[in-house]
Every structure is written in C-alpha cells, then in structure tokens.
Amino acid sequence: MAELEALLRQFAVERACVASSLAIMGDLEHGNRSLAQEIESRQFFLGYAVINPNFTALSMEEMRKYLPRADFCGAKIHSAYNAQPLNSPATKQLVKALLRFDKPLFVHARNPGDLQHLAETAGDYPSATFIVAEMGGSAWPAAVALAERMTNVILDCGGSVADRDKLKYAVDTVGANRLIFGSNCPLVHPAFGMGMVRDADLEASIKERILNANARRIFKL
C-alpha cells in the first residue's frame, strides 16, 4: 500500500479508492478485512467493500460492516469473476441493500451485454449510483450511450484502452460532470491514464472536474 500511495502521489493524486484483490478473487471476508486494516492508518485511501452476488448474505454483512465507515467510499462488484450478470436477482438484491448506505457501486462491465444488464438494474434503482470501471473498456461507446440514458451512471475514464476520441466523445455526450478518473493501478500504470487526460481535446476546467471535482462530489469528500 505504501508503494501504491507513493506511485500515485507522483501524479498528484490526493486520494485513491481501492479494493482488495483477494476479495475480488473470492475471499470477501479476509480481503475486505485486511483492506480495512490497511486503510485505517492511511488517510490517502478510501476503500470499496467488495461484494459478490454468489454470497448475498455475506455480502450484506460486509456492507453493514464497512459502508457506514467514513473511510469506505462504496461497494464493488466484479462480474467477470463472480460470473453473475449485473441484472441477476441476487445482484439486484445487493443493490437494493446498498441504497441505505447512500454510496456508489463500482462495477466492471466490459462488453455491450454486461452494459445492457447494468442498464436494467440502473433503471430499476434510479436512486443508486453506478460507476462503470474503465468506461467499459473497449466497449466504451456503449458505456457512454448507457450513461447518456441513465443519469445515475458515472464513467470512470481510465484503464488500458487509450482510444483518442473517447474522453471528448464522452464529455460531448454526457457532459463533464459524470466522468471521474480511475487509474486502475497497479494493473495499469497511472501514467497511462494521465496521458489520456493530458492529450484529450478538452478545456483545462473540464479536465480538473474529471481529475478532481467530480470524484469529490460523488464520494462526498
């Protein structure tokens, strides 16, 4: 965590939202707990409580444990690992339970099918906020189209897909207030995502919103 913080600080990152890879891979309890312990003494980080619709009771318990804490910024579902569509009854049950914590759900949806499933759930729960990781990867046009239809969908514009038109297209389509910067570090070096923002054909004030103000608003920082 110290190395991660040092690397991100090189790029003027002031706060970073982070999830446990152990929890994403399956061990929710240990992963979330060790993350909670790690971030307790590091104000730089905010945690995502990883939840998994294959383990709804445990996921509810994890949300109850961590989401009331100020150093947890939301929940995270990685559907590629848990193999449940984002519109499954169990996923919707977790989204419904998340509502009372008033914190966003960070989701991985990297193809048009996943995004379609997300559209259904986002439509069913309009007061929940969904953050689409890496703007859907190479399916970013579909992710932008989803965010255009659903005002409760936020786009994380980082990741490893550096298509030169994606940020401007996203801003032109959904406006500048629903994009946030996510480095996806350490899977992606922060220089890569910062390079996208630097090169994007956008005004400096819009870049500032993407890199800072929007996240502060969405995570209530």
Sites of contact with another protein (CB under 8 A): 7, 10-12, 141, 160, 162-165, 185-189, 191-200, 207-208, 211
Rg value, the chain, Cα: 16
Q: Which is nearer to another protein, 34 or 212 (CB)?
A: 212
CB of 203 to another protein, least distance (A): 13
- What's the rounded Cα separation, in Å, for the pair 130 and 12? 26
Burial of 17 (0-12, 13-18, 19+ CB in 10 A): buried
Dist CA 211 CA 205 (whole Å): 10
**How far from 16 is each of 71, 146, 151, CA to CA, in Å?**
11, 25, 24
Nearer CB in complex with another protein: 117/166: 166
> From the CB of 57, what's the least distance to another protein, in Å?
34
Least Å distance, CB 144 to another protein, is 12
- In the complex with another protein, the residue whose CB is nearer, 117 or 209, is 209
Minimum Å gap between C-beta 202 and another protein is 12
Would you say 12 or 83 has its CB closer to another protein? 12
What is the amino acid identity at position 147? A
**What gap in Å lies between CA 6 and CA 56, rounded to an integer?**
35
Residue 63's nearest CA partner among 40, 32, 41 is 32
- 116 CB contacts (<8 Å, ≥6 apart)? none
CB of 5 to another protein, least distance (A): 13
Nearer to another protein, 102 or 163 (CB): 163
